[in-house]
Amino acid sequence: MLRAISLFCVLFATWLLLSGHTDPLLVGFGVASCALAVFIARRMDIVDREGHPVHLTWRVPLFWAWLGWQILKSSWDVAKRCVLPGPPIDPRVIRVPVNQKTDLGVVTYANAITLTPGTVSMRTFRAEIEVHALTGGSADDLESGEMNRFVARVEGHK
Amino acid sequence: MDIWGQIADGASWALLVAGALFCMAGGVGILRFPDVYTRSHAAGVVDTAGAILILVGLMIQAGLTLITVKLIIILFFLLFTGPAATHALVKAALSGGQMPLTGPRGKGE
């Protein structure tokens, strides 16, 4: 129930920010549609730890900031390789271990790998992700395990 | 226009131009790289660094308004759906029997 109330608050905040309306009639419609959305989500049984992960806290913005910095760094590297003569690439397929305990954590890690230019996750196995890396350097960055540990910390284990 | 407005304008233009350059580099990479997997890396530059820099540049133009909130939401939407699409593409190529080229320049060891 608490999770449903929190979902309603998030939805209504989103509604307010996107619409910018303040007159009572329209705000009433907004409240009604948010309530309907929460009702449907509860009937579909998706208001759980995975569908509305409020237990993830201040570590999430920290992770996004760190990920943004990684993205800009590796984008610079890949963009250079796009235009340099050659092109100077050395693609390879590697497997990296997965420390996350939940599906949400594994998906976050695999998505973060794909989001960082130079590495794309191809397949996931029980304890490993198969990754296509553009260069030895991008493979080494991933194999250092920093991103793996960071996602596991955000997830709340360790 | 006051001095801060000019600084904001300059910063915003610098970000927009940088984003456009990243998009162009990514486009060149898509044309030059040898196979679908390496090309997906070049496309990754366009929909991460390119999108982030251009949208942040636009946020500075919009200032502290609801438009900026919408731009932030667009950015998050792109950053959540982009990798899902890239992964779907790569997995489809893999299922279709495309073997990734490896080794220097993707021409075999």
Which chain B residues are Cβ-neighbours of A116 within 8 angstroms? 44, 48
Under DSSP, is residue B24 helix (H, G, I), strand (E, B) or coil?
helix
Predicted pLDDT at A141: 87
Residue ranges with strand state E in A51-127: 92-97, 119-124
Question: Is 50 exceeded by the pLDDT of residue B52?
Answer: yes
Question: Within a 10 A sphere around the Cβ of A93, how many other Cβ atoms?
Answer: 15
User: What does each C-alpha distance from A150 to A19, A107, A136, B7 come to in angstroms?
Assistant: 35, 14, 22, 35
What Å distances lie between residue B20 and A25, A78, A92, B17, B53, CA to CA?
Answer: 43, 15, 29, 5, 8
- Residues in chain B within 8 Å Cβ distance of A72: 49, 52
Find where tokens 């997906």 sit.
B40
pLDDT at B99: 87
What is the pTM for the complete model shown? 0.86
> Would you write out chain A's pLDDT as a tens digit for each of its 158 residues?
888 999 999 999 999 999 988 899 999 999 999 999 999 999 998 888 777 777 777 788 899 999 999 999 999 999 999 999 888 888 999 999 998 888 888 999 999 999 999 999 999 887 899 999 999 888 998 889 889 998 888 887 54
pLDDT in tens, B56-107: 999 999 988 999 999 999 999 999 899 999 999 999 999 998 888 887 766 6
Chain B interface disruption, residue of A10, A77, A134, A151, most B CBs within 10 A: A134
pLDDT at A59: 81
Q: What is the pLDDT of residue A158?
A: 43
User: How far from the centroid of its chain's Cα atoms is residue B45's Cα?
Assistant: 4
Write out chain A residues lying below 8 Å of B42, CB-based: 78, 82
Q: How far is residue A114's CA from residue B84's CA, in Å, rounded to a whole number?
A: 8
Predicted ipTM beyond 0.90: no
pLDDT score recorded for residue B109: 45
Q: Among all chains, which residue has been given the structure tokens 């982030």?
A: B52
